[in-house]
């Protein structure tokens, strides 16, 4: 992923100053701090990242976007000494005291925590303002001098309140994790128990569940499973068809194939003419003939329109492949009973 982002930089990873890795279903931050030490801007929003880690070597990093992830705690950013803007919008941060780890990030001016559980605690804004004196904007709202003075005055009063709210949040998270394990076991049973009907699975996925890190991961896995099923269906749509590969020459020629359908043995002959450019989408096959070897004095009969005299056309799915004249000469053995080209 990182190498792809370096295409505009002549493929040089080490000198990248900006990397966008948003919406990549990433479940962990890794390698970036060792490969891109010159980074100034890093976009990691809308992934499945549960923890801030492996970023401490990014000494030049100024803007870090981790919005819409599964982060529950602010940590491991002390080494990002140039960090000016940190976006943690819509995560699951309930440990408000963890922002104290940003106290030594002296250049931090903007912090976004909107949509996290900690923002619902009484005194949230005052606590953050009093704890991080270097901040200029919190959740997009400018911090005034008077607001900072009041926050410092109220810090001792609101700290016990926040402690109690964090304790309640911790208990809630424990119950959510237990429920997530129960749902996972139930889903595993649904996939292995033959008595579990399709209706039951639909009911399972239609259940309302809290918005948690576990539910985000469960939804992601479900979408992956749906996409995998879609691809399998797409790839198997010709499972009931006979696949015939045509060996296409640069100007024109024959292609002879043999196949069994039930108790019958057939030879399929393609007589074709194509343009010199084999990649041209306008290449056309002129004639298709079938020979049924189970019948006496079998000859090649032409398939035309939607009808066929010796084989159901619905069983044939034509694919084109390029080849060389030498392969063609080896492939065609006997065309003595081929009807003349029209």
Q: Which domains does the chain possess? A: 2-165 (3.80.10.10), 242-331 (no CATH)
Contact present, 246 and 270 (Cβ < 8 Å): yes
How many C-beta atoms surround the C-beta of residue 22 within 10 A? 16
pLDDT value of position 57: 93
Distance (Å, rounded) from C-alpha 327 to C-alpha 342? 25
Q: Which of 81, 83, 80, 42 is nearest to 62 (CA)?
A: 83
pLDDT of residue 238: 45
Say if CB 264 and CB 292 are below 8 A apart: yes
Question: Distance between alpha carbon 198 and the CA centroid of its chain, in Å?
Answer: 26
What is the side-by-side strand order in the sheet with 18-20? 18-20, 41-43, 63-65, 85-87, 110-112, 137-138, 141-142
Write out the chain's pLDDT in tens, 342 residues: 666 766 655 667 778 889 999 989 999 999 899 988 899 999 999 999 999 999 999 999 999 999 999 999 999 999 999 999 999 999 999 999 999 999 999 999 999 999 999 999 999 999 999 999 999 999 999 999 999 999 999 999 999 999 999 999 999 999 999 988 888 887 777 666 655 555 455 666 677 778 899 989 988 887 888 778 777 766 555 444 434 444 333 334 455 555 555 565 556 555 554 444 444 444 444 555 555 555 555 555 555 433 333 333 333 344 444 444 333 333 344 445 544 443
pLDDT at site 28: 94
Q: How many CA atoms lie within 13 A of 197 on its CB side?
A: 3
- C-beta neighbour count of 138 within 10 angstroms: 20
CA dist., res. 17 & res. 300, Å (int): 67
User: What per-residue confidence (pLDDT) applies to 286?
Assistant: 52
194: left (phi over 0), alpha (psi -120 to 50) or beta: alpha
Alpha carbon distances (Å) from 230 to 36, 146, 158, 190, 237: 36, 58, 53, 20, 11
Give pTM, 2 decimals: 0.65
In sequence order, the β-bridge partners of residue 18 are: 41
**What pLDDT score was predicted for residue 128?**
97
Determine the pLDDT at residue 185. Answer: 82
């Amino acid at each position: 992923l990182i190498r792809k982002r370096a295409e505009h930089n002549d493929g040089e990873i080490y000198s990248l100053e900006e990397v966008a890795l948003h919406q990549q279903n990433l479940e962990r931050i890794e390698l970036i701090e060792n490969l891109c030490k010159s980074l100034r801007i890093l976009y990691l929003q809308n992934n499945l990242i549960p923890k801030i880690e492996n970023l401490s070597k990014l000494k030049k990093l100024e803007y870090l976007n981790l919005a819409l992830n599964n982060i529950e705690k602010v940590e491991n950013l002390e080494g990002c000494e140039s960090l000016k803007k940190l976006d943690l919008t819509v995560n699951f941060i309930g440990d408000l005291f963890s922002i104290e780890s940003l106290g030594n990030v002296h250049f931090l001016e903007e912090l976004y925590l909107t949509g996290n559980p900690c923002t619902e605690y009484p005194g949230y804004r005052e606590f953050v303002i009093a704890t991080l004196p270097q901040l200029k904007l919190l959740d997009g709202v400018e911090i005034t001098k008077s607001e900072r003075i009041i926050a410092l005055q109220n810090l001792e009063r609101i700290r016990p309140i926040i402690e109690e709210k964090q304790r309640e949040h911790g208990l809630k998270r424990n119950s959510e994790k237990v429920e997530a394990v129960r749902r996972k076991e139930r889903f595993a049973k649904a996939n292995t128990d033959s008595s579990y009907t399709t209706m039951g699975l639909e009911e399972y996925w239609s259940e309302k569940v809290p918005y948690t890190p576990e539910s985000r991961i469960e939804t992601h896995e479900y979408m992956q499973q749906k996409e995998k099923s879609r691809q399998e269906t797409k790839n198997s749509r010709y499972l009931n068809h006979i696949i015939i590969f045509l060996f296409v020459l640069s100007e024109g020629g024959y292609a002879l194939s043999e196949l069994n359908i039930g108790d019958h043995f057939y030879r399929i002959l393609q007589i074709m003419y194509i343009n010199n450019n084999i990649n041209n989408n306008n290449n056309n096959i002129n004639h298709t003939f079938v020979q049924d070897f189970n019948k006496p004095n079998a000859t090649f009969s032409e398939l035309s329109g939607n009808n066929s005299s010796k084989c159901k056309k619905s069983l044939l799915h034509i694919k084109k492949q390029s080849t060389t004249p030498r392969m063609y000469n080896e492939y065609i053995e006997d065309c003595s009973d081929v009807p003349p080209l029209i």
